Amino acid sequence: MFLSESKADSIEDDELSWTKVDKFDVTGCQYGTFIKLSDSDVGWRLRELDSQYARINISSGWPDLSLAVMRLCHRLRGVLPAKTALLGERIRELVKEFKPQPYIQLALIFRSEGFEAAAKKILVRLERNKTRYGDIGFFPQIWRYMLDIFLRYGYSPFRPVLILLVWATFSAALFQAGYDSKQILPTKDNATDLPSTNPDPRPRVAFNAIVYSIDTLVPIVDLNQKKNWTVPAFSSLAPGPQQRLSLWEEIKVAWRTIPDQWLAILLIFNTFFGWLMTTLFAAGVTGLLRIGKDM
């Protein structure tokens, strides 16, 4: 069934009617609405579009992995056996088959009928298919994958907050374990509220693993934990005055030191990860990273 560039005021259909069609093309087809449209229809309608314009979504349980293998075979086609190189040629066919317009039109109809969540689901699928089947370079593709994981291409701006909360809970458990093993120590400014002669002096600011975790993740905000409790710095890896290590020996020394410095590594990671998630959240809320501008 070929309805390319056709127009219709309304369409009456159901899932069974589309399963009887082996191949169709609705690129450029414009229609006003579906009769008896429901938000529960979005799943099977997306599957039908994918079956024509994004086939690997249907035929593979891991479409991103399958397409990555095809792209690798395409790049190495000059050195691979002929049969394997043919796998790389298939990526060109898939790129040609993909068309964004049918997804955009479907999202417009769901949105016009008031099904905003269903419309967003379609637009997210569209952006994922652009990432998978679009004729883009390697690094733009990686960037788009990151936007999908952290923001669903801008359609879930609060996802970074959820990710931060989950990671803060996990970090708190690790920091509590480090505190119990005396690997997290009070800073010099965290003076004791008891005389130094007391056998069990207490820091002025008590340690709280959850607050400490949040304090290391959320930039700018000062919760009075990170500045009062510290993780010992990395051990110096520099050789002594009479000792010179080869590059390989220095790498081995650094590798052996990592298990003893995991809290310091976690602290550094939290700092950068917190800035990343906060920036993505701000960009997502303001719409700066909503890359789907089709609607």
* 126 within some domain: yes
Residue 50 inside a domain? The answer is: yes
Of 145, 169, 191, which residue is a domain's last?
A: 145
Domain boundary among the residues 100, 120, 145 is at: 145
The answer to whether position 251 is within a domain reads yes
Number of domains in the chain: 2
N- to C-terminal Cα distance for the chain? 27
Asked, for residue 258, whether it belongs to a domain, the answer is: yes
Q: Indicate the pLDDT class of residue 45, thresholds 50, 70 and 90.
A: very high
Q: Which is nearest to 176 in space by CA: 227, 218, 229? A: 229
Q: What is the pLDDT of residue 256?
A: 60
Residue 2 forms part of a structural domain: no
Task: Say what the pLDDT of residue 247 is.
Answer: 64
Same domain assignment for residues 78 and 172: no
Q: What is the pLDDT of residues 16-36, one digit of tens each?
A: 999 888 899 999 999 999 998
188 with 138, same domain?
Answer: no
Domain of residue 66 covers 7-145
pLDDT digits (tens, 9 = 90+) for 141-188: 999 999 999 999 999 999 999 999 999 999 999 999 999 988 888 888
**Do 179 and 209 sit in the same domain of this protein?**
yes
| Boundary residue ending a domain (84, 115, 145) | 145
